[in-house]
Amino acid sequence: MAKVGKRLKNAAQSIDRSKVYSLTDAVKLIKERATAKFDETIEVAINLNVDPRKADQNLRGVVQLPHGTGKTYRVAVFAKGPKAEEAQKAGADIVGAEDLMEKIQAGDMPFDRCIATPDMMGLVGRVGKILGPRGLMPNPKLGTVTMDVAEAIKSVKGGQVEYRTEKAGIVHAGVGKASFNEQAILENVKSYVDAVIKAKPTGVKGTYLKSLSLSSTMGPAVKFEISE
């Protein structure tokens, strides 16, 4: 831990914490300082002028990043019959119904996303208390309760990320890897921020985006503006 602290301190020395950088400069700074022995995730955090206690201001949605996330997602699908076959052909890692429910009840959940056809939601509901707290519960608003399971699987594996407002009014997500080139990170960040802007609740008054920052898994955060 001492080595990580020292590296983070050194990386942060040349960053002006009071300055708001252009997105281009922020990406460059973050990439230069992502020096861990693994491929660090690039993350965006947006501080919003919203009140998450109000249902209409509690943002939640998904966005398809043009260059993906760089992460491989394992997908489980609740489906039967032809839809189960469709899911398997589309590359789902686990497909099932009662057997999948029993796996989850036993604590065996080797997947990162869960998709279900509408007719399976009664079954899925029986493990909702397990999936919900882990952010794995299928949801129509997120496109994970659908009859088009092939398209849903394609979206998840192709770089779809979810955003959700936290208690402090912050939304954040991984938008790529440090190994991505600068242009790919730029375009992913813009797509993500654009989706959050478009999801602005009608009840929000005044400035919607209070601040934006970019960071890598082991690196310092850099504030940036999105005017470009």
| Residues 121, 128: Cα–Cα separation, whole Å | 10
Q: Does 12 score more than 80 pLDDT?
A: no
In contact, 226 and 208? CB cutoff 8 Å: no
Predicted confidence at residue 217, as pLDDT, reads 93
What's the pLDDT band for 159 if we cut at 50, 70, 90? confident
Q: Does 1 score more than 90 pLDDT?
A: no
User: Which residue pairs from 18-24 have beta carbons closer than 8 angstroms and sit at least 24 positions apart in sequence?
Assistant: 19/223, 20/223, 20/224, 20/225, 21/222, 21/223, 21/224, 21/225, 22/224, 22/225, 22/228, 23/186, 23/189, 23/190, 23/214, 23/224, 23/225, 23/226, 23/228, 24/182, 24/186, 24/228
In contact, 78 and 117? CB cutoff 8 Å: yes
What's the pLDDT band for 180 if we cut at 50, 70, 90? very high
Q: Look-up: residue for tokens 């993500």?
A: 192
| Residues 28, 219: Cα–Cα separation, whole Å | 13
Mutual orientation of helices 23-33 and 182-198 as an angle, nearest 10°? Answer: 130
- CATH T-level assignment (fold) for domain 75-157: Rossmann fold (3.40.50)
Predicted confidence at residue 37, as pLDDT, reads 92
Q: Determine the average pLDDT of the residues in 48-68.
A: 90
Q: Which one has a higher pLDDT value, 130 or 6? A: 130
Superfamily grouping for domain 16-69+160-225: Ribosomal protein L1/L10, rRNA-binding domain (3.30.190.20)
Q: In the numeric block, which tokens belong to residue 65?
A: 């990043």
Predicted confidence at residue 227, as pLDDT, reads 67
Q: Domain coordinates of the chain in residue numbers?
A: 16-69+160-225, 75-157
How many residues are present in the chain?
228
Predicted confidence at residue 208, as pLDDT, reads 92
